[in-house]
């Protein structure tokens, strides 16, 4: 087949025009990174530039266009497949590029093939465009056809090109696609959004209702959450920011993303409806022991968001004055206690994280000390700082670790978690041994039934606190008797009265409420008539009482008694002085 030189001149001109128009900006140059840059380097470069050119921050002319270029570049280089395609072909979709000498070229060549069986192709050197079909040029030019079934195919959509320019096809059986089998032409442009085409953040875990309930809600760990929809602008920028913060606080928090497109009912349940941009939330424990979502509305930079996250880490550790605190006489919990001694003015991040993870299993304290030679520190038996000291529920002290060395938050949390797990087991063993010993010493303490004859002895003004198990059925009586019998043997429940060297500070009794309704009526107007059983903490000297009608288990009743002893329970004045008729 012979083709005139004039044809090649026209064809060369057309290809040159399309080369210029279809040229894709080099994503590596846009982000200012080397072609061998790691994903971390690419991510940092994108984050820095996106913050600099974000339309909300940069109102200069051209910032919007630059921001679009940055997002498109990151969309290519952050996706392994797209980056590989770009490096090989100069196009993230895997189509051969049209920018001679750009990334992905073959040593300065740009290579095109028909893509069909028995492929053939043509190759241009960068300096050959001007010599295509021209006279006097010494450079050679090859152009071959060889589509399927013997059809003559130019391999790059000539039909489309000439149709656009001249209003009609070339005819002669020329193919219209880059590859065989009707594939689309290589000159078609991508319709990707300038803000990225990924449906979900790539490296951030997707969170749905099940994950939220199982791993986030009231589990003690702080979470940094991104809510978004695919159509929202700037999702990649938010994702990059969250990843940077998560890396800087690795071990202190976890991250997740919630698609309000696929999880619309879940977003509605949480009250995080989509807005004009993605939203950032922290699952925080600062307000109460129950976690809650708090939205971040500060500046979109790592430092500001990191500070916000640190402020919302758990605060379940109680800071104490070591010189004035005595754990032995303040045993009001069955939980083991641990105290951190450090030179930090504020509770360290690691300790706050642990206090969240174990806040229902271990009581946390921390104290500021200046040096290990401090008398109060030496009295505890600590020889190096920072140090962790623990007390099991019977008041026995243990030096858990001294001279703690911290490499990073994640490893420190892991190491100290293992330490706390071991200490929990030690506490359970000590509590079990103490309970068996107390049971053996007393042979099982019997709880007396309150009556007119023993009222003054058991709940008179000589008794600081009287714990009364009021029942209205035989089943409730048996349950209360078993629980009070066990609780009364605990060390916390047998503390001596501070006012006297003899006599217990607490007495335990049962009351038949069906036979003595006036007693409960003297405390409360309702007389707790709707309850089959209720526990009353009564202070005869002060004429005050507190009621507990929650779950009647040994653990919960013991917790209630401990709170009474520590002054953590609110007492109310009785309506009148209770008596037994």
Q: What is the pLDDT of residues 358-407, one digit of tens each?
A: 998 999 999 999 999 998 898 889 999 999 999 988 788 899 999 999 88
What are the structure tokens assigned to 344, written together?
């930090």
Count Cα neighbours of 65 within 13 Å in the Cβ-side half-sphere.
4
Describe the crossing of helices 158-166 and 5-22 by its angle, rounded to 10 degrees: 90
Q: Which residue has the tokens 């000539």?
A: 158
Q: Tell me, what's the pLDDT at 215?
A: 95
Residue 362 CB partners (closer than 8 Å, separation 6+): 335, 336, 337, 338, 420, 423, 424
| 477-513 pLDDT per residue, tens | 999 999 999 888 876 644 433 333 334 478 999 999 9
- Tell me the C-alpha to C-alpha distance, in Å, between residue 458 and each of 295, 468, 477, 526, 580: 54, 10, 18, 25, 12
Phi, psi of 121 (to 5 degrees): -155, -170
Checking if the pLDDT of 112 tops 90, the result is no
Rounded to the nearest 5 percent, the helix, strand and coil shares of the chain are 35, 15, 45
Q: How far is it, in rounded angstroms, from Cα 382 to Cα 373?
A: 9
Return all residues near 402 (Cβ < 8 A) that are at least 6 apart. 382, 383, 384, 385, 386, 387, 388
Kindly report, as residue ranges, where domains of CATH 1.10.287.110 are found in the chain.
Answer: 22-127+142-166
Average pLDDT of the residues in 140-169 = 35
Superfamily name and number for 209-311? Glutaredoxin (3.40.30.10)
Q: For the whole model, what pTM was predicted?
A: 0.47
Q: How many CB atoms lie within 10 A of CB 111?
A: 13
Overall CATH class of domain 22-127+142-166: mainly alpha
Which of 28-42, 92-106, 210-224 has the lowest average pLDDT?
A: 92-106
pLDDT tens string 1-10: 455 555 554 5
How many DSSP H helices and E strands does the chain contain? 17, 16
Query: Is domain 318-440 classified as CATH 3.10.20.340?
Result: no
User: Cα–Cα distance between 384 and 200 in angstroms, integer?
Assistant: 48
Q: Which two tokens stand for residue 30?
A: 């846009």
Contacts of 108 (CB under 8 A, 6+ apart): 100, 101, 125, 126
C-alpha 18/C-alpha 380 separation (Å) is: 81
Strand 533-539 versus strand 544-548 pairing type: antiparallel
Specify the higher pLDDT residue, 459 or 169: 459
pLDDT exceeds cutoff 50 at 19: no
Question: Cα separations (Å) of 554 from 230, 360, 490, 493, 560?
Answer: 52, 16, 11, 12, 10
Class for domain 455-573, per CATH?
A: alpha beta
Separation of CA 340 from chain center: 25
For residue 215, count CB atoms less than 10 angstroms from its CB and return exposed for 0-12, middle for 13-18, buried for 19 or more: middle
> Could you tell me if 471 and 528 are in contact, meaning their C-beta atoms sit under 8 angstroms apart?
no
pLDDT higher than 70, residue 152? no
Q: Residue 434's pLDDT band (boundaries 50, 70, 90)? A: low
Token readout for 365 is: 């304290």
**Looking at the chain, which residues constitute the CATH 3.40.30.10 domain(s)?**
209-311, 318-440, 455-573
3-state secondary structure of 339: strand
pLDDT band at 52 (very low <50, low <70, confident <90, very high): confident
Q: How confident is the model at residue 108 (pLDDT cuts 50, 70, 90)?
A: very low
Return d(Cα 222, Cα 287) in angstroms, integer: 13
Q: How many residues comprise the chain?
A: 581
pLDDT reported for residue 179:
35
Rounded to an integer, the average pLDDT of 457-471 is: 90
CB 282 within 8 A of CB 293: yes
């Amino acid at each position: 087949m012979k083709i005139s030189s004039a044809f090649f001149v026209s064809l060369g001109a057309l290809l040159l025009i399309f080369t210029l128009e279809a040229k894709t900006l080099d994503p590596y140059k846009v982000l200012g990174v080397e072609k061998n840059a790691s994903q971390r380097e690419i991510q940092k470069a994108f984050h820095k530039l996106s913050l600099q050119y974000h339309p909300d921050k940069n109102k200069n002319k051209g910032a919007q266009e630059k921001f679009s270029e940055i997002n498109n570049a990151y969309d290519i280089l952050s996706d392994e497949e797209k980056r590989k395609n770009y490096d090989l072909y100069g196009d993230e979709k895997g189509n051969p590029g049209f920018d001679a000498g750009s990334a992905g070229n073959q040593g300065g060549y740009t290579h095109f093939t028909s893509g069909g069986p028995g492929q053939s192709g043509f190759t241009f050197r960068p300096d050959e465009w001007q010599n295509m079909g021209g006279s006097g040029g010494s450079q050679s030019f090859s152009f071959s056809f060889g589509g399927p079934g013997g059809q003559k195919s130019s391999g790059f959509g000539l039909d489309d090109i000439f149709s656009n320019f001249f209003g009609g096809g070339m005819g002669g059986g020329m193919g219209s696609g880059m590859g065989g089998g009707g594939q689309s032409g290589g000159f078609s442009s991508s319709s990707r959004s300038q803000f990225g085409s990924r449906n979900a953040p790539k490296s951030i875990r997707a969170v749905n209702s099940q994950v939220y309930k199982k791993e986030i809600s009231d589990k003690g760990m702080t979470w940094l959450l991104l809510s978004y929809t695919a159509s929202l602008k700037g999702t990649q920028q938010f994702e990059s920011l969250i990843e940077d913060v998560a890396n800087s606080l690795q071990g202190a928090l976890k991250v997740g993303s919630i698609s309000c497109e696929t999880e619309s009912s879940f977003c509605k349940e949480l009250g995080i409806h989509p807005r004009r941009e993605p939203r950032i939330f922290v699952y925080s424990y600062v307000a109460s022991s129950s976690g809650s979502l708090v939205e971040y509305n500060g500046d979109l930079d790592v430092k500001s968001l990191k500070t916000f996250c640190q402020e919302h880490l758990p605060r379940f550790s109680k800071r104490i004055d070591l010189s004035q605190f005595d754990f032995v006489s303040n045993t009001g919990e069955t939980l083991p206690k641990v105290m951190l001694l450090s030179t930090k003015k504020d509770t360290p991040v690691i300790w706050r994280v642990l206090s969240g993870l174990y806040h229902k299993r271990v009581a946390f304290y921390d104290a500021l000390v200046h040096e290990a030679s401090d008398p109060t520190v030496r009295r505890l038996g600590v020889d190096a700082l920072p140090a962790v000291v623990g007390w099991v529920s019977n008041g026995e002290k243990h030096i858990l670790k001294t001279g703690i060395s911290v490499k990073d938050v994640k490893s420190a949390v892991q190491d100290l978690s293992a330490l706390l797990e071991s200490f929990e087991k030690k506490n359970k063993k000590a509590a079990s041994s103490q309970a068996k010993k107390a049971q053996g010493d007393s042979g099982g303490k019997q709880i007396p039934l309150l009556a007119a004859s023993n009222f003054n002895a058991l709940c008179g003004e000589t008794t600081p606190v009287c714990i009364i198990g009021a029942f209205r059925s035989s089943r409730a009586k048996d349950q209360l008797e078993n629980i009070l019998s066990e609780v009364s043997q605990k060390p916390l429940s047998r503390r001596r009265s501070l006012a006297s060297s003899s006599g217990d500070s607490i007495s335990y009794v049962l009351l038949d409420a069906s036979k003595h309704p006036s007693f409960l009526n003297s405390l409360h107007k309702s007389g707790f008539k709707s309850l089959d059983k209720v526990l009353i903490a009564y202070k005869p000297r002060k004429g005050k009482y507190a009621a507990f009608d929650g779950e009647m288990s040994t653990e919960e009743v013991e917790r209630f008694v401990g709170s009474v002893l520590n002054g953590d329970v609110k007492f109310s004045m009785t309506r009148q002085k209770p008596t037994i008729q």
